Structure 1
Amino acid sequence: MSALAYDGLAMAGRQLRRVRNTPGLAILTQLMPVNMLLFFGYVFGSALAVPGREYRSFLVPGLLAATAAGGLMTGMFQAAQDTHRGVMDRFRTMPVSRAAVPLGQAVADLLVTAVGTVPLLLTGLAVGWRIEGSAAGAAGAVGLLLLFRFACTCAGILLGLLSRSEEAAGQLGAASFVLPLLSNAYIPTGNLPHWLRVLAEWNPISAVTTALRDLFGNAPVPAGAAWPVAHPVAGSLAWSLALTALFLPLAVRRYARTE
């Protein structure tokens, strides 16, 4: 086993123990999408109903994509916490691969997300959402979801390493909650003003949401949309790979040079 793989597994194990030692925060984070599903699905369901389609079936893929985008917030907060509490400085004094620290955090977050997605899926099934496509399509949807989560976590780690304080990272992370609102995760974008529709359709969350709806068989790909939404699987892969290729090396470089 290479040094990077060994050190990366050690860092991932450390992050998983961190989650285990703060179960309240982990449970709260995982319950939030479930609460949003119940709230939006039942309280706003009639007002936001999608013509010809059950709104909760429309909503579940959007919430899954929004949950994946939440990697931006968790990655940012955890990296900022380690940076400003001196943990990163201690890691730098150890013979640990520089890439292993941010990579281990991202991998651990991916494992936690994979487990945490189960309650949302089960709740979705309980309120009427169904996988109407093939098993292969559903497996592809889950893989795409996790890939996007990994990309968002890498972006969050870099921002956390760049943050001036834990409080600043927390405020910026909370502000990222608006990103799913500027997408098609919760409502169709067809009736939005042109400029806002363009902004929403070029939001990576919109491509991932549309891909999940398509792969789960919950909704067809909308006609006349921007390229990432008109070709959602390719668009989601392109966004995820581009974000990872950009932010992961920058996070490793920033970790290695931060004093």
Structure 2
Amino acid sequence: MTRPYDALALVYDRWNAEADYQRWAGFLHSRFAGERISRVLDVCCGTGRMIGPLQELGYEVSGVDGSAAMLTRAAANVSPGTRLRHAMLPGAAPEQPVADAAISCFDSVNYFVSDEDLRGLFRFVANSLRPGGLYAFDLNSPYKLRTFYGDHHHGDDFGEFAYVWRNRIDGARIRFLITIFTREGELFRRHEEVHEQRLWEIAELTAAARDSGFEVVEILDNYQPVLADDETLRQTWILRRASA
């Protein structure tokens, strides 16, 4: 059994090749307009696939993540000299200098499974933002995790790697047992990782955000100018850090 993302980092970008990072970055750019935003912090940046598109749009972007393996991959996806910090959240010291905006994309927030951890994440972000700064994040909705993940199994063969994904849902938490087979010559090496996500309800997230010094600006449907509803699969939240 390996730590989460140690093995997944080997195949992550190929596995998620269809993720529309460019569209997500363009949507965030539209939401940042008029907000005096130049410096952006990518919290739980993974392999840096959101950093590159935002840099192309003219932002100064840095990243922080708890997986050294993912950060190693990120170096190839970002501009030379980009600050990529290895730090375990939520207990890490805030970023300095502070950013004008922060993002957490591709359901990173679901991985903060306790109330304490979620509030710790929000406090870390709040302390890494200037007053009035924005925090944009997305997460898998409870509807998606119950309906599309649930107690189901998934798998696929990509040629250079294959995977089997087995899910178990228990109340407000869902556990993923991910078995990955990576090609090594004529053979495949087997890796196993356990991931856990939280089914966060809107009221719970709103309370945690307010307790951590944020106000909720809007809750949208998958990086679109459409309000989230009961069947939204990927919620996109925009928070604003209190000015005082």
TM-score, normalized by the shorter chain, greater than 0.5: no
Q: Which has the higher helix share?
A: 1
Higher strand share: 2
- TM-score norm. by structure 1 comes to 0.25
Higher-RCO chain (CA-CA 8 Å, sequence separation at least 6): 1
